[in-house]
Amino acid sequence: MNNANPSAVAVAVTPAQHNRLSMAVLLGCLAGLGPLCTDLYLPALPHIATSLQASASFVQFSLTASLLGIALGQIFIGPHSDVNGRKPPLVISLLVFIVASFLCSFATSITELILFRFIQGVAGSGGIVLSRAIACDLYSGPELTKFFSLLMLINGIAPIFSPVIGGQILALSDWQGIFISLGVFSVILTLAVILGMTESLPEEKRKAGSLKTTFITFRQLFADRSFVGYTLTQGFIIAGLFAYIAGSPFVLQTVYGLSAKTFSLCFALNGLGIMLFAQLTGYFTKRFSEKQLLMSGLLMSLCCSMLLLAASLLQANVYMILFLLFFIVSCIGITTTTSFSLAIQRHPDSAGSASGLLGVISFIFGAVASPLVGLGSGTTAIPMALVVSLANLLAYVSYHKLTRAN
């Protein structure tokens, strides 16, 4: 009971001290560094290949390098923030991100670009993991879930519009201009953090710092059956999302003949669906528990995934495929919001470490799922539907077997 009182006081006091919307915008921009880092330069990949005289596979490896950096960075920056507070490592990671962004624009070979992209990914992971840790410092319980739904609304804009913005920059400049623009945006964001954000983790709540302490913290997290369940649930959900991202361009354009413009509109609509369902999740926390919302999202996603697999096997028309994909992708707004909130609430004292672990597991699962959709050589929708269905089935099983009774 003694542990519950401080948390209750924090929830009552903190929203009065911080403007929820302005904090969500700032944290959403920080969390959006990852999607910006990976998606903003996608339209420029052919230009980079020509400019640096590199093969397409080598240029694509620069994307892999940034994703690897984002995954690995979270596992180190999260625990570091539990020891030293959130703001110092956040500012340092942003400063490194700025330098790496400008270095990318000056790269004269694909090897240099890959190296700088890896560094950029590691630094960008600070915004992802620390934005969530700061949210956990400020809110708890249903208030945390509601805030995460608002954060997802802001953060959801980045992956939807990043390629579009990158294309517009490319129309006015060369590929180097994309990285310069990213560096300038990061400078503005860093100033906003330095001038407008206070430290959210007081010294009395920080952990003693050592490598041994970090391993002990991770061991405690892995020993928590429910935390592992929520982590696996979110990891498999993200695996399904990556399978959709990797497979849908080929399925919808090559198999079903949609134009690039029509595909982009469908992709954006599904992104808006994630944002809409995340907001509905925040609204319904007043009426239902987070567990009830998570279960409903998992069941809806699993049912639509199985129908997608059946539709792919029966070679259904494109409208059925698009209809099912919309609900499968939109459900991610429910399931990731609630699974992350429920996981982090179990270890509020180690929010940085828990957030980092959740992030790295999700990226690893996503990295494994992405290549699997290519088994059909982009000529059938079945591999994508199969991987998405399997991922959602495993997410449901992870929740049902490891967390439901706790």
Q: Report whether pLDDT(14) > 60.
A: no
Give the CATH number of the domain where residue 72 resides: 1.20.1250.20
Q: What percent of the chain is modeled with pLDDT above 90?
A: 29
Lowest mean pLDDT of 1-10, 259-268, 304-313, 346-355, name the range: 1-10
Contact 43, 79 (CB under 8 A): no
> How far is the CA of 134 from the CAs of 13, 263, 378, 405, in angstroms?
15, 36, 41, 29
> What 8-state DSSP symbol labels residue 174?
-
Question: Looking at 206, 236, 254, which one is the last position of a domain?
Answer: 206
Domain of 311, in residue numbers: 208-406
What is the domain count for the chain?
A: 2
Of 123-137, 239-253, 371-385, which one has max mean pLDDT?
123-137
Tell me: do 139 and 3 sit in the same domain.
Answer: yes
Tell me: do 140 and 235 sit in the same domain.
Answer: no
Tell me: do 198 and 213 sit in the same domain.
Answer: no
pLDDT band for 327, please (50, 70, 90 cuts).
Answer: very high
Q: What are the pLDDT digits (tens) for 61-117?
A: 787 788 788 888 888 888 888 888 889 999 999 999 999 999 999 999 999 999 999
Beta-carbon contacts of 405 under 8 Å, excluding residues fewer than 6 positions away, are none
Mean pLDDT, residues 191-203: 87
pLDDT averaged over every residue in the chain:
82
Lowest mean pLDDT of 157-161, 232-236, 249-253, 345-349, name the range: 157-161
Q: What are the pLDDT digits (tens) for 213-242?
A: 767 777 888 888 999 999 999 999 988 988
**What gap in Å lies between CA 144 and CA 357, rounded to an integer?**
19
Residue that wins the pLDDT comparison between 311 and 372 = 311
Q: Report whether pLDDT(308) > 70.
A: yes
Mean pLDDT, residues 243-253: 78
Question: Looking at 172, 206, 240, which one is the last position of a domain?
Answer: 206
Contact 29, 154 (CB under 8 A): yes
Mean pLDDT, residues 199-220: 74
Q: Report whether pLDDT(260) > 60.
A: yes
Tell me: do 115 and 255 sit in the same domain.
Answer: no
Lowest mean pLDDT of 142-146, 349-353, 398-402, name the range: 349-353
Of 94-108, 142-156, 157-171, 264-278, which one has max mean pLDDT?
94-108
Q: Report whether pLDDT(15) > 50.
A: no
Tell me: do 213 and 324 sit in the same domain.
Answer: yes
Tell me: do 391 and 246 sit in the same domain.
Answer: yes
Tell me: do 102 and 112 sit in the same domain.
Answer: yes
Q: For the residues of 76-110, what is the DSSP string, one character each?
A: HHHHHHHHH-SHHHHHHHHHHHHHHHHHHHT--SH
Tell me: do 186 and 266 sit in the same domain.
Answer: no
Tell me: do 221 and 139 sit in the same domain.
Answer: no
Tell me: do 310 and 346 sit in the same domain.
Answer: yes
Mean pLDDT, residues 275-283: 85
Mean pLDDT, residues 9-32: 64
pLDDT band for 186, please (50, 70, 90 cuts).
Answer: very high
Which stretches of 106-140 are DSSP H helices? 110-138
Tell me: do 197 and 253 sit in the same domain.
Answer: no
**What gap in Å lies between CA 332 and CA 239, rounded to an integer?**
11
Burial (0-12, 13-18, 19+ Cβ within 10 Å), 174 = middle
Tell me: do 202 and 216 sit in the same domain.
Answer: no
Structure confidence at residue 60 (pLDDT) = 67
Question: Looking at 152, 185, 206, which one is the last position of a domain?
Answer: 206
